[in-house]
């Protein structure tokens, strides 16, 4: 409320105080609105004051909010409660209304546009969490319903007589409740009298994944979870484990982050090791940008901030990324109960019988530390261990672990220590593991006792740019019975020309100087215009201890697409005359391979057939082996339509308008496309792209909304025989209104078989056409001429073209 001062003397006194900007005493006597009125009077401005609700532009960024403002001439006061509700961190105050001058905020009010522009310090605005290179999928997960049978048959026929054949299979059923799978193999070997037609079951299990919890349940045959310093064993039982693969968008390890602030709306350019990673926009205020560098090891992230005025600020932060660490607060785990399995691949149902519980867990304590643990319990075994993975600054990643294991007869410990450091130029790593002879875990407590006392492995690699790369591995193994073996492997690879590469390696036994093996390889890709390239190679191996030198020359042509025929030839010039020749025919329905091989004057033959049979209980397909997710495309009955994935034609629909698409990536958006130009003239497609996200081990239906819509070009004439004027409206009960073009022609959709009545409005007059339509699928007929008869016309008849 404005307060009018009663005497001129008092007014002059206060005006003098205002001119000196000494508001301390006034703030104790008058409200903000009183002071604003006095200021306006001191400047000769109007004393009228009002409250407005203009749209807010904050630091150059348009918001969708209105901000209450008190306007006293050129003086502005804002509702601090409303401004704070928008996320602006204002200085503490007990007053609801404060002037912009008191707040230290620059502002401008536009009465005509009803906008107010405010510029506040960047650190008053809420912090923004940004990500570069991280894309989360919002597509719903699809779980199809169906079954498949994978098969793989292999046979060898020896020139000396006899044969060896085998056939393996996997039968899989899938539905909303997950997937059930059972696999096995049957073998016939003439050289082994006891192995003629025996069937060995491999794995039988039920598997279900909850994507919202990233959890996988398995009942049946499974592998126990393991850490880098613990073994895994085969069990039959129940398992619950974390499944990060169900969230491909989730980065499980700590990522580099960079902080900054922007006073105005700005554009961010993110570079990792001088390569552009992503572009971002940022609103005014502080921000924290988390980047997914797509590399591991030591690197550098650079963020260039450019505001709307063209000013640039560059921030550079070094980082070290390792997938062995977990993000802060993230859990990884696996817990299993069951009984251990023995002689896998040799016997179908050989289980130990004793109950076993085993589990592992990993927890990201901080971005620098990840805690690991393991526990295994049975009637005769107790094993537990703790480990820590740490990132000491930018100096790589270290790990240390200690485990204790005991059974009824003995006990002992195992400890492990290691370190890894990698850059763009080089990398080094080392792991050392040592255990007591009494140490027991699930892998050695059942049938065998531990034989290895300690292992040390050191690795190194060096990138020489155009000169190739060098790598070295040192392996030192000690056994409890006193034996020791030490080996050093050195390797070099280099691309000599665009399509010529060279590899060199040496394997040296450090305990026996004569035990040394040299190897050299040369590979050449041969381009053939208009044809698939050929690959040729020469491999030479020399054993210094025996003095033997083996060499083999190869020439091959790979298969790239269905119906390609590939082949592979190999020949050794040595006295044994080793040779091999094979051919491969890759079809959409199966993969066939056959060939011969041999040495020392003997030539044997072999053949291999692999593939699958797939059904969704409505369609049946023959296909290649289905190890991943797949989709059955439903094109609404339209045959021979090309279906694309990643802008590449995968196949054409069959006579029922179906197509089987293999090798989809589970839990990931897979984009399928049908080009509208490939559709028949009488087909209508609402969406050309279809995004599907299948569950693992499942097949889903990808249904394109294609409808057959009968259309025609009608030639329309008036009763005097002249064309219906262009621009006349054409009405049909089953189609949208359209217009007549030149020469009385009109394109009309939605015609149905039989009689159709069409209304035409021209210059305010209505006339009708009746026609009998006979569909001709896949065509766009031109029909007519048809005479449009007015309602008053005595000749209500149909003109047949």
616 conformational bin, left if phi > 0, alpha if psi -120 to 50, beta if neither:
alpha
d(CA 143, CA 160): 51
Give the tokens for residue 428.
């080094």
71: pLDDT strictly greater than 60: yes
The DSSP bridge pattern shows strands 275-282 and 382-390 to be unpaired
pLDDT value for 120: 85
Q: What is the mean pLDDT of residues 723-736?
A: 87
The answer to whether residue 5 scores a pLDDT higher than 50 is no
What separation, in Å, do the N-terminal and C-terminal C-alpha atoms of the chain show?
Answer: 84
CATH number attached to the domain at 710-787: 2.60.40.2070
Query: Which of 771 and 373 is assigned the larger pLDDT?
Result: 373
- pLDDT for position 799: 43
C-alpha distances (whole Å) from 103 to each of 90, 93, 301, 790 are: 8, 10, 37, 77
Q: What is the pLDDT of residue 709?
A: 82
For residues 109 and 690, the model is more confident at 690
More confident residue, 78 or 801: 78
Check whether the bond before 404 is cis (ω within 30° of 0).
no
605: β partners: 157, 596
Is residue 16 predicted with pLDDT exceeding 50?
no
Residue 14 in this model has a pLDDT that exceeds 80: no
Q: Give the integer Cα–Cα distance in Å for 769 and 755.
A: 10
Which of 487, 490, 492 lies closest to 513, judged by CA?
A: 487
DSSP SS3 for 77:
strand
Percentage of the chain beyond pLDDT 90 is 52
Burial grade of 35 (CB within 10 A; 0-12, 13-18, 19 or more): buried
- Please name the residues in contact with 599: beta carbons below 8 A apart, sequence gap of 6 or more: 572, 576, 577, 578, 579
- Higher pLDDT: 766 or 45? It is 766
> Are 552 and 571 in contact, with CB atoms under 8 Å apart?
yes
User: What strands lie across the sheet with 729-732, from one edge to the other?
Assistant: 735-739, 729-732, 754-762, 765-773
Counting beta carbons within 10 angstroms of the beta carbon of residue 461, is it exposed (0 to 12), middle (13 to 18) or buried (19 or more)?
middle
Cβ(656)–Cβ(614) below 8 Å:
no
Residue 575 pLDDT level (bands cut at 50, 70, 90)? low
**Given pLDDT bands bounded at 50, 70 and 90, which one contains residue 661?**
very high
Could you tell me the pLDDT band of residue 25, with boundaries at 50, 70 and 90? very low
Radius of gyration from C-alpha coordinates of the chain: 39
Fill in the DSSP letter of residue 141. Answer: P
Mean pLDDT in residue range 751-768? 89
Cα–Cα distance between 262 and 715 in angstroms, integer? 64
Confidence of residue 798 (pLDDT cuts 50, 70, 90): very low
**Average pLDDT score over residue span 500-524:** 95
- Band (pLDDT 50/70/90 cuts) for residue 708 is confident
pLDDT band at 40 (very low <50, low <70, confident <90, very high): low
Given a cut of 80, whether residue 191 has pLDDT beyond it is: no
CA-to-CA separations, 373 to 186, 228, 380, in angstroms, rounded: 40, 11, 21
pLDDT of residue 713: 92
Instruction: Give the model confidence (pLDDT) of 222-252 as tens digits.
Output: 999 999 999 999 999 999 999 999 998 888 9
Give the number of C-alpha atoms closer than 13 A to the C-alpha of residue 349, restricted to the C-beta side: 1
Highest mean pLDDT: which range of 65-79, 206-220, 293-307? 206-220
* 603-653: pLDDT as tens digits: 999 999 999 999 999 999 999 999 989 999 999 889 999 999 988 898 999
Residue ranges, comma separated, of all CATH 3.10.20 domains in the chain are 8-120
pTM value is: 0.80
Cα separation of 469 and 460, whole Å?
11
DSSP 146-170: EEEEEEEEEEEE-TTS-EEEEEEEE
Strand partners, 315: 303
- Output phi, psi for 85, to 5 deg: -65, -20
Q: Which residue has the higher pLDDT, 480 or 474?
A: 474
% of the chain at pLDDT higher than 70: 91
Alpha-helical segments (H) within 237-351: none
Residue 228's nearest CA partner among 420, 36, 59, 48 is: 420
Please give the average per-residue pLDDT across 686-697, as a whole number: 92
The residues of the chain that CATH labels 2.60.40.2610 are 628-708
Question: Residue 172: its pLDDT value, please?
Answer: 97
CA–CA separation, 672 vs 695, rounded Å? Answer: 16
Give strand pairing partners of 168: 152, 185
Helix (H) or strand (E) holding 83: helix 80-85
In the chain, CATH 2.60.40.2070 covers 710-787
Q: Look at residue 662 in the predicted model and tell me its pLDDT.
A: 92
**How far, in Å, are 44, 45, 301, 603 from residue 9 at the CA level?**
17, 19, 67, 124
CATH for 8-120 is 3.10.20
Q: Does an H or E element contain 182, and which?
A: strand 178-189
> What is the model's pLDDT at position 797?
46
Architecture of the CATH domain 628-708: Sandwich (2.60)
Question: Is residue 488 over pLDDT 80?
Answer: yes
Contact 265, 117 (CB under 8 A): no
| DSSP H/E element including 39 | helix 32-42
Q: Three-state DSSP class for 611?
A: strand
Q: Can you read off the two tokens belonging to residue 600?
A: 């020392």
Q: In what helix (H) or strand (E) does residue 303 lie, and over which residues does it extend?
A: strand 297-307
CB burial readout 478-497, b (16+ within 10 A) else e = beeeeeeeeebeebbeeeee
Mean pLDDT of the region 35-62: 67
DSSP strand pairing (629-634 vs 699-703): parallel
Q: Which tens digits make up the pLDDT trace of 330-377? A: 999 999 999 999 999 989 999 988 999 999 999 999 999 999 999 999
List, for residues 245-281, the tens digit of each pLDDT value: 999 888 899 988 888 888 788 888 888 888 888 787 8
Residue 67 pLDDT > 90: no
The whole-angstrom separation of Cα 526 and Cα 535 is 6
Nearest CA to 712 out of 689, 668, 688, 746 is that of: 746
- For the chain, give the mean pLDDT: 87
């Amino acid at each position: 409320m404005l307060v009018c001062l009663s005497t001129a003397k008092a007014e002059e006194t206060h005006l003098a105080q205002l001119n000196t900007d000494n508001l301390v005493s006034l703030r104790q006597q008058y409200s903000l609105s009183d002071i604003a009125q006095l200021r306006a009077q001191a400047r000769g401005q109007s004393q009228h004051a009002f409250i407005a609700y203009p749209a807010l532009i904050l630091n150059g960024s348009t918001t969708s909010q209105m901000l209450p403002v008190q306007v006293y001439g050129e003086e502005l006061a804002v509702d601090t409660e409303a401004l704070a509700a928008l996320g602006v961190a204002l200085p503490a105050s007990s007053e609801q209304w404060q002037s912009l001058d008191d707040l230290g905020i620059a502002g401008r009010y536009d009465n005509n546009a009803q906008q107010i522009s405010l510029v506040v310090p960047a650190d008053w605005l809420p912090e923004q969490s940004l990500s570069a290179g991280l894309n989360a999928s919002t597509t719903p997960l699809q779980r199809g319903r169906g079954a498949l049978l994978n098969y793989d048959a292999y046979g060898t026929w020896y020139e000396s007589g006899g044969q060896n054949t085998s056939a393996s299979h996997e039968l899989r059923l899938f539905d909303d409740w997950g997937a059930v799978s059972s696999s096995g193999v049957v073998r016939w070997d003439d050289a082994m009298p006891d192995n003629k037609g025996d069937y060995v079951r491999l794995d039988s299990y039920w598997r279900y994944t909850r994507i919202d919890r990233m959890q996988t349940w398995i009942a049946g045959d499974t592998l126990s979870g393991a850490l880098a310093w613990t073994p895994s064993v085969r069990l039959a039982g129940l398992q619950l484990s974390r499944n990060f693969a169900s969230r491909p968008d989730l980065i499980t390890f700590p990522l580099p982050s960079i902080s900054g602030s922007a006073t105005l709306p700005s554009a961010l350019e993110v570079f990792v090791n001088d390569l552009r990673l992503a572009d971002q926009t940022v609103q005014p205020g502080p921000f924290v940008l988390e980047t997914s560098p797509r590399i591991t090891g030591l690197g550098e992230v650079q963020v260039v901030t450019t505001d709307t005025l063209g000013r640039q600020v560059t921030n550079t932060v070094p980082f070290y990324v390792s997938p062995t660490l977990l993000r802060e607060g993230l859990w990884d785990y696996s817990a299993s109960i069951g009984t251990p399995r023995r002689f896998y691949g040799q016997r179908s149902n050989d289980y130990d019988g004793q109950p076993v519980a085993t589990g592992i867990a990993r927890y990201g304590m901080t971005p620098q530390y990840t805690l690991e643990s393991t526990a295994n319990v049975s009637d005769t075994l107790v094993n537990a261990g703790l480990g820590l993975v740490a990132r000491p600054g930018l100096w790589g990643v270290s790990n240390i672990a200690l485990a204790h294991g005991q059974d009824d007869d003995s006990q002992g410990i195992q400890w492990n220590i290691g370190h890894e450091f990698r850059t763009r130029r080089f990398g080094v790593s080392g792991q050392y593991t040592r255990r007591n002879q009494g140490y027991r875990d699930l892998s050695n407590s059942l049938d065998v006792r531990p034989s290895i006392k300690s292992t040390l492995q050191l690795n190194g690699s060096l990138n020489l740019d155009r000169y190739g790369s060098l790598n070295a591995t040192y392996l030192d193994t000690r056994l409890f019975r006193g034996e020791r073996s030490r080996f050093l492997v050195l390797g070099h690879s280099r691309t000599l020309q665009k399509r010529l590469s060279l590899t060199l390696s040496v394997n040296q036994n450090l305990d026996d100087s004569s035990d040394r093996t040299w190897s050299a390889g040369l590979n050449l890709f041969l381009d053939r215009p208009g044809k698939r390239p050929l690959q040729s190679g020469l491999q030479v191996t020399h054993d210094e201890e025996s003095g033997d030198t083996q060499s083999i020359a190869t020439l091959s042509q790979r298969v790239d697409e269905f119906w390609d025929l590939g082949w592979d030839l190999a020949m050794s010039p040595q006295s044994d005359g080793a040779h091999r020749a094979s051919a491969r025919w890759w079809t959409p329905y199966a993969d066939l391979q056959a060939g011969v091989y041999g040495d020392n004057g003997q030539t044997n033959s072999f053949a291999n057939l692999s593939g699958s049979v797939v059904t969704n209980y409505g369609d049946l397909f023959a296909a290649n082996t289905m190890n991943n997710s797949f989709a059955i495309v439903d094109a609404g009955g339209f045959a021979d339509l090309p279906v694309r994935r990643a802008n590449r034609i995968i196949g054409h629909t069959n006579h029922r308008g179906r197509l089987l698409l293999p090798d989809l990536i589970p839990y990931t958006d897979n984009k399928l496309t049908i080009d509208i130009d490939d559709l028949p003239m009488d087909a209508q497609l609402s969406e050309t792209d279809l995004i599907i996200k299948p569950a693992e081990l499942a097949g889903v239906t990808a249904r394109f909304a294609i409808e057959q819509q009968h259309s025609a070009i009608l030639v329309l004439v008036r009763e005097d025989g002249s064309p219906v004027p262009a621009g006349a409206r054409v009405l049909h009960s089953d189609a949208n209104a359209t217009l007549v073009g030149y020469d009385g022609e009109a394109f009309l959709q939605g015609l149905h078989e039989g009689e159709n009545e069409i209304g035409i409005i021209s210059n305010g007059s209505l006339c009708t056409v009746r026609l009998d339509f006979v569909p001709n699928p896949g065509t766009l007929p031109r029909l007519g001429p048809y005479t449009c008869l007015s309602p008053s016309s005595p000749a209500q008849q149909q003109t047949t073209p």
